[in-house]
Amino acid sequence: MAETTTLRRPNLLLAVLGLLTAVAPLAIDMYVPGFPGLGRELAAGEPAVQLSMSAFLIGLVAGQLVIGPLSDGLGRRRLLVPGTAAFALLSATCALLPTAPLLVAGRFLQGCAAAAGLVLARAVLTDSFPRARLPLYFSVLAMILGVAPVLGPLVGGLIVAASGWRAVFWVLSALGLAMLAATWLGVPESLPPARRSAGGLRHAFGSMAVLLGQRAFTGYTLSLGLAAGAMFVYIGASSYVFQDGYGMSSVQYGLVFAVNAGAMLAASASFGLAARRIALPALLTGYLAIAALGALTLTVQAVLAPTLTGTWLCLAVTLFGVGGVFPAVTTITQSIGHARAGAASALSGGAAYLFGALAAPLSGTTVRAMAWVMLASLVLAVLALVLARPWRPLTEKSFA
């Protein structure tokens, strides 16, 4: 009955799931333009300020790994509604905290709460729609994930300029309330009791071990995480490369960032169309090959004769490939883990942000350092894909 109710309003459901997907990446970097003012007001150095972002990412990973598998036994709404309410409350709390250590702790808890919307949006989507339609819908969520990190600093800059860094958290709290209302009205329970797993906490977390015991699932998940690591390296290093290395202004760099984000959006859109005609493992292999080739070319030109045009073009190609990897792996892993959609969503989403958090500090500040780390990450992603054996078709046995 829950599935039928959900499918009667698919557009409303997709809109709400899109909002749930967007809020977490917005919360990651929306307050970045306020870092200088935040540091001055809280008497905190740059490492302490940066730690507040790392704490959010760690919370986002931890929250997904707990909430996802629990939802397979408890249902989606039972965790989604309080999770969104907690995000709104914790965002308001972060706006009031008086010291940097308290802000770091607040950001960790805020990340744990934000994980509810991120991990359960994928699970609800998997519950509610036929597998044949999942590639299209996951491509939509991937496009939102591509847009949100670009809009975050731009919108945050306007808010900080008008009202200071604390106002960013008040805006996030308002978004959390909007998310709560939209969830309450637009997301019915998608996992009826008959389809829920039994056995309590041990079984809930054991389901992740079952999924990781499948060679294909583990290989695809590692491939996604390592590709995400390459993307986070780009995010962490690109401002230094283009502004300090190539002398671009902040406005010009914003244009570079927007164009490269557009390449990721184009890949996500192309995936939704191409998945109708091309087998998902073959399509994923193609996107990952494009990303690795772009990173290899970036590294060669960085070593021999780095140029602004060459760097920009190679990054656009690399990010196009990464933009296709995200929806492809998400669709495949959610299909393999269809009976444990919450656990599958937790592992794939957690891997993306975990590897991103680990790779970002390695990004460096030069085009050569960025290129080498991105290339290494994508080469490892290719090896992980080999582990998954993508030449084997995804049959019903794959979804057991």
pLDDT per position as a tens digit, 190-221: 878 877 776 666 666 777 778 888 888 889 99
On the question of pLDDT at 389 being above 60, the answer is yes
**Which CA distances in Å does 140 have to 18, 97, 270, 324?**
8, 36, 11, 12
Confidence band of 112 (pLDDT split at 50, 70, 90): very high
Would you state the pLDDT for residue 111? 93
Q: For position 396, what pLDDT does the model report?
A: 40
Q: How is residue 99 annotated by DSSP?
A: S
Residue 249 confidence (pLDDT): 77
pTM of the model as a whole: 0.78
For residues 138-155, give the mean pLDDT. 76
Does the pLDDT value for residue 308 go beyond 80?
Answer: yes
Q: How confident is the model at residue 1 (pLDDT cuts 50, 70, 90)?
A: very low
Query: Distance (Å, rounded) from C-alpha 143 to C-alpha 145?
Result: 5
Range with the lowest mean pLDDT among 87-101, 305-319, 351-365?
A: 351-365
Q: What is the pLDDT of residue 4?
A: 37
Q: Which of 256, 364, 361 is nearest to 314 (CA)?
A: 256
Across the chain, mean pLDDT equals: 84
What's the pLDDT score for residue 393? 65
Mean pLDDT highest for which of 66-75, 208-217, 241-250, 317-326?
Answer: 317-326
pLDDT tens digit sequence for 13-36: 888 888 888 888 888 878 877 877
> What CA–CA distance (Å, rounded) separates 301 from 367?
10
Tokens encoding 242: 């283009």
Would you state the pLDDT for residue 3? 41
- Whether residue 156 contacts residue 29, with contact meaning beta carbons closer than 8 Å, is answered with yes
CB atoms within 10 A of CB 193: 9
Share of the chain above pLDDT 70, in %: 93
Q: Cα(148)–Cα(158) distance, rounded to whole angstroms?
A: 15
pLDDT at site 86: 96
Which tens digits make up the pLDDT trace of 244-300? 888 887 677 778 877 888 888 888 888 878 878 888 888 899 999 999 999 999 999
Share above pLDDT 90 across residues of the chain, in percent, rounded to a whole number: 28
Q: Please give the torsion angle defined by the CA atoms of residues 375, 351, 61 and 25, in that order, rounded to the nearest 10 degrees.
A: 60
First to last CA, the chain: 24
Which residue, 171, 186, 164, 194, is CA-closest to 117? Answer: 186
Select, from the ranges 197-201, 225-229, 359-363, the one with the highest average predicted confidence (pLDDT).
225-229
